[in-house]
Amino acid sequence: MTQPIHQHHLQIRVTYKETDGQRRVHHANYLNYFERGRVEMLRAIGIRYRDLEDQGMMLVVSEMNIQYHSAAEFDDLLDLETSLMEVRKVRMRHQYRITRDGELVVSASSVIACVGPDGNPKRLPVFDFHGTT
């Protein structure tokens, strides 16, 4: 099993607006949680999305795989672990785990591509991805 390059932990309290009519987290909101985890992890490493945008770059999701294990509900306190698994020329691969009281709720992986203003792949800037975890 590959060791993560960097990991970040974040706690999320489920709000009512993130749930469906049965007070369970709507599946699309997990994508928002993953994005929040990714943004906070990159910020902790020293990478700000705004700085990338100022350089004419965007990070876009090119692949997402999600496995649902149990339902999260309104007011649950979720633990989100975001792991940076791989950095290659124009892409990063992440893994995510969301747990509630130690129980796995959702696991996922994504590939994030770096593109320039023309929509073509663009090499990621050099950052110290091996910062403290």
The answer to whether residue 62 is domain-embedded is yes
pLDDT score of 50 more than 70: yes
> Angle 116-130-121 (CA atoms, 0-180°, nearest 5)?
15
Number of domains in the chain: 1
- pTM comes to 0.88
Could you read off the pLDDT of 30-41 as tens digits, one per residue? 999 999 999 999
> Angle 119-108-21 (CA atoms, 0-180°, nearest 5)?
100
Q: How far apart are CA 127 and CA 69, in angstroms?
A: 34
The answer to whether residue 98 is domain-embedded is yes
The answer to whether residue 120 is domain-embedded is no
The single-letter code of the amino acid at 72 is A
N-term to C-term CA, the chain = 18
Residue 133 confidence class, pLDDT cut points 50, 70, 90: very low
Mean pLDDT of 49-71: 91
The answer to whether residue 106 is domain-embedded is yes
Tell me if residue 20 is catalytic: yes
| Radius of gyration, CA atoms only, the chain | 15
The answer to whether residue 130 is domain-embedded is no
**E strand segments, the chain:** 6-13, 58-68, 77-88, 91-100, 103-115
The answer to whether residue 133 is domain-embedded is no
**Catalytic residue (choose from 20, 79, 101, 128):** 20
The answer to whether residue 129 is domain-embedded is no
Query: Which domain does 21 fall in, by range?
Result: 6-115
CATH number at 79 reads: 3.10.129.10
